[in-house]
Amino acid sequence: MSLESLQSFIGDDMLEVDRVIRERLYSDVVLIRQVSEYIINSGGKRLRPALVLLSAGCFNYTGHAHHELAAVVEFIHTATLLHDDVVDESELRRGRETANALFGNAASVLVGDFLYSRAFQMMVSVDNMEVMRILSDATNTIAEGEVLQLLNCHDPDIDEENYLRVIRYKTAKLFEAAGRLGAVIGGGTEEEKDALARYGMHLGTAFQLIDDVLDYSGDFLKTGKNIGDDLAEGKPTLPLLYAMKHGSAEQAASIRQAIEHGGLTEFQSVLAAIKDTNALQYTRDQAQRETRIASEAISALPDTKYKSALLQLAAFAVDRSF
């Protein structure tokens, strides 16, 4: 399933989610509206809100809370993007200027705070304590992941296990929450809630691993990112860790230098090491493994079009080029 066909399958629901997003973005403070609308409308894939909708659909849910919660998840994600770009001093996201480049760091941080607080207002309106627990736990874990990533920056001695821990916290946790939320409001059993949470966690992990691959192989026109952005920031992602472990001593030293100091002076030698060690294929293989686990997690769910869409979403996560 392509992203377009997935979006078409839940198109009416996504239109309603977009309506909720626009409505809840409103603020009397003009700058809040400007920054929020800029980042929300910047071409994201909306996979996390889609996961809420698909998970709820697995239980034939017919209410409207899934639209509200899908918007909540998107607001939390958007808030993390605003804060991330400030921390990373990024200037481009999805091929456009980042909000901090356009409006300044202070505005980005404060509007990110607004989106977090608006998300909590919205989740309270659903009036479900389990929903509030899931989302409050998720936002706390994501914040821990952000700090862990900050600590890992410029540290070439991070191992694969600790790198995956950052992914589980920072990226996969919101996917996990999205899957569980759909099952909660859909009336799933505890086993079904756990199954969709596991699906989301492994899907989110695979998604981030492919982002790591695309940072060294992607097309700017598709990804909206320059190749090597993560390297320039000194982020020790999985392709680098693998190449450093399996390359020559000279290659390992070059990668270590690049991670420790950031920038792109070692870029060509790092790219060569990644190619020589097949580090991108290794990372893709790990992403494939994660999606297999995700698919197996929901094997016991009834066979529906929504379950089929979830399985195809897992395939898209690793086959994508953007």
Domains of the chain (ranges, CATH numbers): 6-213+296-319 (1.10.600.10)
Mean pLDDT, rounded, for 93-101: 82
pLDDT at residue 7, as a whole number: 79
Indicate the pLDDT class of residue 225, thresholds 50, 70 and 90.
low
222: pLDDT strictly greater than 70? no
Question: Which percentage of the chain shows pLDDT scores above 70?
Answer: 96
For the chain, give me the number of helices (H) and strands (E)? 18, 2
32: pLDDT strictly greater than 60? yes
83: pLDDT strictly greater than 90? yes
Indicate the pLDDT class of residue 8, thresholds 50, 70 and 90.
confident
Mean pLDDT, rounded, for 42-53: 89
Mean pLDDT, rounded, for 253-271: 92
Mean pLDDT, rounded, for 210-219: 86
Among residues 134, 125, 139, 129, the alpha carbon closest in space to that of 193 is found at 134
pLDDT at residue 3, as a whole number: 73
61: pLDDT strictly greater than 90? yes
Look up residue 111 and give its two tokens: 């509007």
- Give CA–CA dist 234/217, Å, rounded: 17
Q: Which of 68-72, 177-181, 262-266, 291-295 has the lowest mean pLDDT?
A: 262-266
pLDDT at residue 221, as a whole number: 45
Among residues 179, 178, 171, 114, the alpha carbon closest in space to that of 146 is found at 171
Angle between helices 238-246 and 279-297 (to 10 degrees): 130
43: pLDDT strictly greater than 90? no
pTM score, whole prediction: 0.94
pLDDT at residue 278, as a whole number: 97
pLDDT at residue 39, as a whole number: 83
Indicate the pLDDT class of residue 4, thresholds 50, 70 and 90.
confident
156: pLDDT strictly greater than 60? yes
- The DSSP bridge pattern shows strands 92-93 and 96-97 to be antiparallel
Mean pLDDT of the chain: 92
282: pLDDT strictly greater than 60? yes
Contact between 27 and 34 (Cβ < 8 Å): no
Vertex 57: Cα angle to 53 and 61 (nearest 5)? 105
